[in-house]
């Protein structure tokens, strides 16, 4: 018995694609202009158009947290927002948190506690942790674990991630 089926019967292609326009994003304190169509996500804008590849794509569906960036100080999944929607917002990526020469305290703590292995989820973890610190809602270990649960680490570095965050959380600001 054989039946037939057709994949993608989604109707004819759109005649005209949405035009490319200029979008201005303020990233890590610098205004960047890019020519994109509305369908470009903030994540793809960073990685493919601005060469800011520190922000990672781990699922592209808001299910892993690798793409976490800070928008106006709040952590979000950059894969689930359009770049055009973030015009005028203040975007901070991992590249804006610190550099190899001048590491952010969280970046140093992640190294010290070996809070990563393959490193792919790490920028998202660190951006997420940076926001967690400013949110001020996580005080106990259990709360850190819960409020870091939007960032999956398949290497399983969670205990070290929590230790790194606790160290920064419990270090009085100089």
Partner 1 sequence: MSTTNYIGKPTSRVEGPAKVTGAAKYAAEYNVPDLAYGYVVSSPIAKGKITKIHADEVRAIPGVLQVFSHENVPSLAWFDRSYKDDVAPGGSPFRPLQGAEVKYSQQPVAVVIAETFELARYAASLLRIDYDVAPHDTDLETKRDDGFEPGRGKTGWVPPPKPRGNPNEALKNAVHKVEGEYIHLTQHHNPMEMFASTVEWLGDKKLKIYDKTQGAFNSQQYVTKVFGLSKDDAQVISKYTGGGFGSGLRPQYQLFMAVLASLELKRSVRVSLTRQQMFSFGHRPHTLQYVELGTNADGTLAALHHHALHETSQFEDYTENVVNWSGMLYQCDNVKLTYQLAKLDVYTPQDMRAPGAATGSFALEIAMDEMAYAAGLDPLEFRLRNYAERDQNADKPFSSKKLRECYHEGAAKFGWDKRNPEPRSMRDGNMLVGWGMGGGVWDASIQKCAAKVTLTADGHLNVLSGANDIGTGTYTIITQIAAETLGLPLEAVTFTLGDTTLPEAPLQGGSWTAASVGNAVKETCDKLGEKLLKLAQKMAGSPLKDASYEDVQFVNGQIRLNADPTQAVVIRDVLPASGEKELTVENTMMPNPASQLTHSLHAHNAVFAEVKVDPELGTVHVTRVVNAVAAGRILNPKTARSQVLGSVVWGISMAMMEETVMDHGFGRYMNHNLSEYHVPVCADIHDIEVIFVEEEDDKVNPLGIKGLGEVGLLGVAAAIANAVYHATGKRIRNLPVSIDKLL
Partner 2 sequence: MNSFTYTRATAVDAAVREKSADDGVKFIAGGTNLLDLMKENIERPTRLVDINTLPLTTIDSTPEGGLRLGALATNADTAWHPEVEKRYPLLSQAILAGASPQLRNMATDGGNLFQRTRCYYFYDLATPCNKREPGSGCSAIGGYNRIHAILGTSESCIATHPSDMCVALAALNATVRVTGKNGERTVQFADFHRLPEDQPQFDNTLAPDEIVTAIDLPNEDFSQNFSYLKLRDRTSYAFALVSVAAALQLEGNTIKEARLALGGVAHKPWRDSAAENLLKGQPATEETFRRAAAAVLQDAKGYGHNTFKIELAKRAIVRALKQAAEGTQHATEAFKNSNP
Which residues from 84-103 bind partner 2, rule CB under 8 A?
A: 84-85
Could you give the 3-state DSSP secondary structure of residue 169?
helix
Dump strand ranges (E) for 8-167: 21-27, 30-36, 68-71, 74-77, 90-92
Binding mask 49-78 vs partner 2 (x if CB under 8 A, - otherwise)? -----------xxx--x--x-----xxxx-
Q: Which does 76 bind (CB under 5 to 8 A by kind): partner 1, partner 2, none?
A: partner 2
Sign of CA dihedral 135, 53, 78, 58: negative
Binding mask 26-65 vs partner 1 (x if CB under 8 A, - otherwise)? -----------x-xx---x--xx--xxxxxxxxxxx-xx-
**Which one of residues 76, 78, 122, 131 is an interface residue with partner 1 (CB under 8 A)?**
122
Q: Looking only at residues 153 through 172 of this chain, which bind partner 2 when binding is defined by CB under 8 A? A: none
For the purposes of burial, counting CB atoms within 10 Å of the CB of 159, is it exposed (0-12), middle (13-18) or buried (19 or more)? exposed
Residues near 165 by beta carbon (within 8 Å), at least 6 away in sequence: 106, 109, 129, 132, 133, 138, 144, 148
- The residues binding partner 2 (CB under 8 A) are 7-8, 10, 14, 17-18, 37-39, 41, 60-62, 65, 68, 74-77, 79-82, 84-85, 128, 131-132, 135, 137, 142-143, 145-147, 149-152
């Amino acid at each position: 018995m054989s039946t037939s089926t057709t994949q993608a019967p989604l109707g004819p292609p759109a005649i005209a694609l949405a035009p490319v326009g200029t979008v201005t994003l303020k990233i890590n304190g610098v205004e960047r202009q890019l020519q994109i169509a509305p369908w470009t996500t903030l994540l793809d804008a960073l990685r493919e158009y601005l060469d800011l590849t520190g922000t990672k794509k781990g699922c592209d569906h808001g299910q892993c947290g690798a793409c976490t960036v800070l928008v106006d100080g709040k952590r979000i999944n950059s894969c689930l927002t359009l770049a055009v929607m973030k015009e005028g917002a203040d975007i901070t990526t991992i590249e804006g948190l610190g550099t190899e020469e001048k590491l952010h305290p969280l970046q140093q703590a992640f190294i010290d506690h070996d809070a990563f292995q393959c490193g792919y989820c790490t920028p998202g973890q660190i951006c997420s942790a940076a926001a967690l610190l400013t949110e001020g809602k996580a005080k106990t270990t259990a709360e850190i674990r819960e409020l870091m649960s939007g960032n999956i680490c398949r290497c399983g570095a969670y205990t070290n991630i929590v230790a790194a965050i606790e160290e920064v959380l419990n270090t009085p600001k100089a």
